């Protein structure tokens, strides 16, 4: 995360941070988390960055 976002000091890759976010949000359901992650496979970097800034920035 810290390689992409100057506000983060986490060593966690962005992909893993998103996975953790959706697992928490979906009650630890792997199936629901997989479905939530699918759109991120085809999204532009700008949209992913915007999502992370809006939802993961603390």
**Do residues 55 and 36 touch, judged by C-beta distance below 8 A?**
no
Number of C-alpha atoms within 13 angstroms, CB side, residue 56?
Answer: 27
- Average pLDDT estimate for 9-23: 98
Tens-digit pLDDT profile for residues 20-57: 999 999 999 999 999 999 999 999 999 999 999 999 99
- The domain segmentation of the chain, as residue ranges, is 1-49
pTM of the predicted model as reported, rounded to 2 decimal places:
0.92
Q: Which residue has the higher pLDDT, 41 or 58?
A: 41
Phi, psi of 27 (to 5 degrees): 65, 35
Asked if the model's pLDDT at residue 58 lies above 90, the reply is no
Give the dihedral sign, CA 43/44/47/49: positive
Q: How many CA atoms lie within 13 Å of 50's alpha carbon, on the beta-carbon side?
A: 6
């Amino acid at each position: 995360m810290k390689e992409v976002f100057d506000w983060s000091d986490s060593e966690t890759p962005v992909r893993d941070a998103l996975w953790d976010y959706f697992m928490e949000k979906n009650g630890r359901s792997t199936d629901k988390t997989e479905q939530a992650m699918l759109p991120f496979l085809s999204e532009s970097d700008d949209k992913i960055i915007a999502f992370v800034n809006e939802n993961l920035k603390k």
